[in-house]
Structure 1
C-alpha cells in the first residue's frame, strides 16, 4: 500500500468545499459567536464551573480514544486547579495532572506561533508518569512506526508513518505550514475548521512522537480552530470523536491513503459542528443545575444535597440512583435512604424507573 506521504505532491492536500461544507462552516461561526455570548454573560464563578466541565470532558475523552482511562474526579480536580491556582489539586493520578497542564497550555497559547519546543512541552506534560516513553523529543527508533491491529501472527498494518530519520524535516515543514496558513482575512477565518481538519490529518500522518500523537494531534486541531476565531472556544472535540471512535479511525486511515481529502474535510468539519452542539447541551444542563440548587437549597436536608451533588458531578449518573447507592454516599440507614428518596420523588427531583428491588432513580433538573 502507498500512503499519502509517499505520493507525489506530498504534503499538498487537495479538497473541494461543497455546499454542505460551506453551510457547516457558517453554522460553526454562528454557534461559536452564540456560545461566546452565553459565557460572557456568566459570572466568573459560573464561567469557571462550566469551563471545568468542558475541559474535563475533553481530557477524559482524548485519553479514552487511545485506550487510556482516567478518573473523572481526578481530572476535574486537576482542571479546577489549573483554572484557579488557589484551588487545591486533590488528584492522585499524575496522568490527570499532565493532561490538564497540556490542555491549559493549549488554551493559553492559542495565539502563539507553533514551534517544536511548544510541541515538546506538550508531550512532556502528556507523558508525566510514563517512564517507558522518551518524552519531549521526536521519535528516533529504527523500527517502523506502524498502526497495527490483530493478534500475533495475524497482524494487519493499517498505516506506516515516515521513518524516524525523516521526522525532523517533516515536522519542520509541518510547523512552517501551520504558522504560514494562520488565518488573517475574514474568509480564511471562516475556513479555519477546514485548516483544523487538514492540520490533524497532516500531523497524524507524520506521527512524530513515540506515543501520544493522537492526543497532541487533536490539541493542534483545537488550536487551529481558536486561531480562526480569535479565542479558544468552549468545546470538546475529543468527546464527539470518542462517541464513535471506530468511524474516526476508519476515516483517518482512509484519508492517509490519498492527497485528495475532500471526504476527510467533510467528516472533520461535521465533528466540529457536533462539538459546538454538545457544548450547548452542557451549558443548558449546567444552568438547570444552578437553578435547581437555588430553588431547593433550603428545602433539602444535608444527605439529599450530598447525594444530588454527587449525581451532578457528571451530566449522567451511571446506572441511576438506588437505595443501596444512596446509603453508601449519604452514610445512612436503609430506612432513612428510602424515606429521603421518596421525598425527592414527591418533589419531582428524582424520577423512578422500574419497580421493587430493581427500582432506580434518575435526576430530573427541569425541562
Structure 2
C-alpha cells in the first residue's frame, strides 16, 4: 500500500502551508488533531485551478478580514468580490459567500463532517467534499486533484489519455485510501505530486514509492499521464468604452450577476463577438466622442482568448446623465482598490495609462 511508504516520508517532508496542520505542528499541539474545517474549505475553494504560491496571499488576507465562517457570511458580497479580484473564476467567490451563509445561518456555523453532507453546500463538488472530509475530519475519503492523478497514473502505469482515464484513476486511488490518517495521506499524495512526482523531470530516485511504481520500472514516468490533444481556443472580440472625467474619474459599472465575471466591476463594453471583428455598441457610441487607442488588450479565459479595442473619451458635462445611461458610477483611481476589478479590466485601464 502506498500509505505505508508515503506517510513516514510526509512526517519528515510535509510542506508548511498556512491552511494545514503539518506533522510538526501536530507534535507540538497533541490536543489539536485536525485542521479547522473553515480554513480547509477556504483554501480548497481558492486552490481550484490556482497555484499554491498565488493563493497564499489571498488566503491570509481573507482570514485576517474574516477569521470565521460567520464573519464571512455577514460580509457584503461586493467586499468579498473585491478581496477576490485577481484570483479568477469569480463564480467561486460568489459560491464561497453563498456557502458561508448556508453554514452560518442554517448549520449553526459548523461544516458537515461527511462527504454527503458537504456535497449539499453551494460550490462544493466531489473533490472539495472529499478534501474537507479527509483533512478536517480524517474521514477515509479519496481525494484526487491533479497532483494525485499524476502520482496514480504513474504508480499504476495508466497509459490511456485524460480525461477518459479519470474514472480508472479514481478507482485506483480509492483502493489506496487508508482508514487511518486519511487526511495526512491525502496531503502527502498532494505534496508528493507537487514536489517530487512533478510533470517534468520527476525525482524518481528520491520518491518514497519508487519501488512499486510501474511507470518508473517501464521508464515511462515522465510521459504520464497522457493528455488528449487540446482543442484550439476561439477568440472573442469587443470594444471597451472608457469614459474619463477630470472631476469624477472613470465611469465603471457592475456586470450581471450570472455569467462570466458575474457581479464584478467592468469598464463598459460592447457585445463579446464570438466570430469576426468586434462591433461597436450604438447605445454607448452616441454618448460621447471617442478616440480609439492603438493596439488591443489581450486576455485568456479558460475557454477562449479575448481581444479588446479600447475607446476613450474625456467628459466634462452631463456626468450624472451619462452615468445613468450606462447604469454605472464614477470612481477615482484611489477607489479602485476597493472595487471588484478583474484582471482583464485592470489591463484595459493600464492600456489607457489610467492606472
Q: Give TM-score scaled by structure 2 length.
A: 0.30
* Bigger Rg, structure 1 or 2: 2
Comparing both structures, which one devotes a greater share of its residues to strand? 2
Structure with the larger helix share: 1
Higher relative contact order (CA 8 A, sep 6+): 1
